[in-house]
Structure 1
Amino acid sequence: MKNLVHGIKEKTPMGFCDVPGKNLLDFLRDMKSICANEARYKPRKKIHQAASEGDVKKLQRMINLGKHSVHDRDFKERTALHFACIYGREEVVSILLRNNCDIDAVDRNSVTPLMKAVQNWSYGCMCTLLKHGANPNRMDKNGNTSLHYAVSEDNQKLVEYLLKYNADMEQKNKDGFTPLLLALKENKIEMAKFLVKKGANIHVFDKMKRYSCLNFFNKNV
């Protein structure tokens, strides 16, 4: 299980490394990236800070006074709900939803709070969002859905829960990758097998026809 600091990321699935193992140099590069991402996701607005810190009383007081809104956005168009999901603040998510926040709000990269919850392994936030009607099939600017994010995280538990709420296994991103094709591209073989067992279509190709699920499974399964 990833810890909170390791989870603060802004990469999209197509930006992830394909290599399954890491050497020391890879590890050091990752640590540098983590620090940079943590700085990028530092909340600037007071309501975003309260959401990030999980300060429920302060957050509710801000909303009640009317000086801050659940719809307030920062320079990257992120809402308090985005920050709550990044930091795994399930109780904050519930409060924001009770105060009529936009459950599918998108930042400037069209990333939703659900995508950030999935990307950062915030199970409680993800479950709460889905139970309250978050759309698992919204796409970011690269056409990736929350299911693409879960596949990139190589997390079958996340994938299974998204499928329970009708996540589309056949949705292609802008490069023509379904979640299954993405799993093969990123060398996540067990994830690919898991998706096939769940009914993913193996008769698909990416836009450039570089990846063929059918050819792969004929050779490896």
Structure 2
Amino acid sequence: METLKSVTSIFIRTFGPLGFLFGGVLTMMGEWAVLLFGEGPFSTFLQGNGERIGFTLFIFCGLIMVLRMEWRFREHEEYFGNEAQKKLWRMGILPTRDYYLNYVREGDYGVVNRFWEAGTVNVNNGRGRWDIHIACEAGHAAIVQGLLERGVDPKITDQDGFTPLMTAVRFKHSKIIDLLLHHDCALNTKSSKQGCSALFVAAVHHDEPEIAATLLAHGAEIESVDHNNLTPLMAAVAQQRWKVASLLIDRGADANRVDGSGATLMDYTALYNAPREFVARLEGLGIKKSPLNLKRVSGGFSAPAGITIKWEAQPNVTG
């Protein structure tokens, strides 16, 4: 029985498309018979019957291909555990993790909702990223809302220790940020890889003071430090986010803080060629360079939101 099924399947897979193609060619060949083959009985036969035979073959093989698809659907339905999964399969959509996450990334709410009905939710891509992180990165607020309604944890972290909120902040999706802030999204949680908070991510990735202001309005810790003892204010200066840095100072960030090497904000402004107005503001606050006469020896930005600057004290040269 299995051998017969295999032979039949091979025959249909081969004959169906070829017959479909040949039928189409034969249908058109009736009009071109004399041009292609010259005068003769074969041309006469094609002129009289080619179109009818070709059209019949075209329809017949088309039906064979459709029936093969139906057979394939029924043959594989047994592998899927519920009717919703079978419905996806019959739509031509494999009810698998990768297909689901692709539709999440594309923002196709209708198909994603069918996956949810089939019980596919809170899915990891196998490399540490969850469906909610993918939706937050792509900016699909409706899908994020749907995931939260279905019990997905808004505090869940990816391979870098990023929460969904950190991901939404990184990619500047304000609507999703507002949505997550009205759930228990662990606003002041730090990423495991670099010790970054959501406010730190906002300071590192873009000069959008509105996003930083929203986080602060909901209680973001303005002096939270990362693994290198950098505050969001220091990170903003290191990444030349002058608008965010000014906002943080306006909201009470401590401009006198130093990093793990003893570098001050003034050392950072000299390193990154800060605007004169910003430097003047720090001078007005009494901020000075470190007395250690520091010089940067290495470091910079590291994904997803790390700032690592290594300083080295230089000997003070007196005249």
Query: Structure 2 length normalisation: TM-score?
Result: 0.52
- Is 1:170 the equivalent of 2:170? no
Secondary structure in 1 matching 2:181? helix
Q: Which residue of 1 aligns with 2:142?
A: 91
Instruction: Confirm or deny: 8 A CA contact 2:135 2:143 kept in the other structure.
Output: yes
Task: Give 1:134's match in structure 2, choosing from 175, 185, 195.
Answer: 185
Shift of 1:77: 1.3
Q: Which residue of 2 aligns with 1:125?
A: 176
- Is 1:151 the equivalent of 2:203? yes
Letter in 2 for 1:100: G
Shift of 1:76: 2.2
Q: Check 1:133–1:213 CA distance in 2 against 1; reply closer, same or farther (3 A cut).
A: farther
Structure number with higher helix proportion: 2
Q: Between the two proteins, what is the percent identity of the paired residues?
A: 25
Letter in 2 for 1:89: H
Task: Give 1:185's match in structure 2, choosing from 234, 238, 252.
Answer: 238
Instruction: Confirm or deny: 8 A CA contact 1:181 1:213 kept in the other structure.
Output: no
Instruction: Confirm or deny: 8 A CA contact 1:203 1:213 kept in the other structure.
Output: no
Instruction: Confirm or deny: 8 A CA contact 1:202 1:213 kept in the other structure.
Output: no
Letter in 2 for 1:114: L
Q: Check 1:91–1:210 CA distance in 2 against 1; reply closer, same or farther (3 A cut).
A: same
- Structure 1 runs of 4+ aligned residues shifted over 3 Å read 212-218
1:56-135 matches, cutoff 5 A: 56-66=109-119, 68-70=120-122, 72-135=123-186
Shift of 1:213: 6.2
Q: Greater RCO between the two (CA within 8 Å, min separation 6)?
A: 1
- Is 1:197 the equivalent of 2:256? no
Secondary structure in 2 matching 1:45? helix
Shift of 1:89: 0.2
CA distance in structure 1 between the partners assigned to 2:98 and 2:234 by the alignment: 39
CA distance in structure 2 between the partners assigned to 1:213 and 1:160 by the alignment: 24
- Is 1:219 the equivalent of 2:288? no
Instruction: Confirm or deny: 8 A CA contact 1:204 1:213 kept in the other structure.
Output: no
Shift of 1:114: 0.9
Secondary structure in 1 matching 2:262? coil
After superposition, the C-alpha distances for 1:22-43 in whole angstroms (9 at most, x for unaligned) are xxxxxxxxxxxxxxxxxxxxxx
CA distance in structure 2 between the partners assigned to 1:213 and 1:111 by the alignment: 30
CA distance in structure 1 between the partners assigned to 2:162 and 2:282 by the alignment: 35
Q: Check 1:213–1:165 CA distance in 2 against 1; reply closer, same or farther (3 A cut).
A: farther
Instruction: Confirm or deny: 8 A CA contact 1:78 1:107 kept in the other structure.
Output: yes
Secondary structure in 1 matching 2:147? helix
Q: Which runs of 5+ in 2 are unaligned?
A: 1-96, 270-278, 286-319
Q: Check 1:200–1:64 CA distance in 2 against 1; reply closer, same or farther (3 A cut).
A: same
After superposition, the C-alpha distances for 1:75-105 in whole angstroms (9 at most, x for unaligned) are 3211110011111000001000000001111
After superposition, the C-alpha distances for 1:163-201 in whole angstroms (9 at most, x for unaligned) are 111111110001111001111222333322211111112
Query: Structure 1 length normalisation: TM-score?
Result: 0.74
Instruction: Confirm or deny: 8 A CA contact 2:212 2:244 kept in the other structure.
Output: no
Secondary structure in 2 matching 1:116? helix
Shift of 1:219: 2.2
Q: Check 1:51–1:203 CA distance in 2 against 1; reply closer, same or farther (3 A cut).
A: same
